[in-house]
Structure 1
Amino acid sequence: MEGEPEEALAELERRARAYTPEHPRSPERRRLFHDGDGFLLVVDGAYQSYATCFSAAELLDDTDRPPSP
């Protein structure tokens, strides 16, 4: 996304909160942690916990970027 870092972090949080992982199929508990420029979502199932990391990063270079007008 383009915009200010604060906007990117807010969008990342929105996506982390809305994310529904494939496992566990019957979640019992969800915990969302914020750490610096990212989030950690931990979903507990009946037998196991599953973690998903969401990170914000700034693109510094892209060799396949279209030329600027």
Structure 2
Amino acid sequence: MPSWGLIVEETCGYQDRRWEATHLGEFDGTRQQALTRLLKFAKTYEPAHPRLPKRRLVYEAADGYIVFVRGATETFHLRFSVAELVHDTYAPARPQGRPEPAAEPEDAVPANHGRRKS
């Protein structure tokens, strides 16, 4: 059975608004079951902004939900998505019937690709 990541992306900050993604957890089951679980998060997740939410609008999208949370002066939005896990460096046991992965090609992405420099 596939494993699905439950993910929320939200706008953070005031003057320097940026997107931040948070891994809410994993769900084993069908995609539809994962979306049903994700809807619970979309309805109840408490974002950092706005501090005093007045209204929440939840829209279904192709891969999850888009949520608008209106505050007293501004509206913030969040995107809730399901994503099927296709690779994990920690794999405790390989399920029956799944072959070992092929060796990485010569042009594989470098190990430090995408990491922030400290």
Q: TM-score range by the shorter chain?
A: 0.7 to 0.9
- After TM superposition, the structure 1 = structure 2 runs for residues 1-69 of structure 1, keeping only pairs within 5 Å, are 1-68=27-94
Deviations 1:21-58 (A, max 9, x none): 12112112110111012111110111111111110000
Larger strand percent: 2
Number of residue pairs the alignment of both structures matches: 69
Paired residue secondary structure (1:57): strand
Q: TM-score, structure 1 length as denominator?
A: 0.87
User: CA separation in 1, counterparts of 2:91 and 2:78?
Assistant: 29
**Among the aligned pairs, what percent are the same residue?**
39
Cα RMSD after superposing both structures: 1.4
Report the alpha carbon displacement of residue 68 of structure 1 after superposing the two structures with TM: 3.1
Larger helix percent: 1
- State which structure, 1 or 2, has the greater radius of gyration over its C-alpha atoms: 2
User: CA separation in 2, counterparts of 1:63 and 1:27?
Assistant: 39
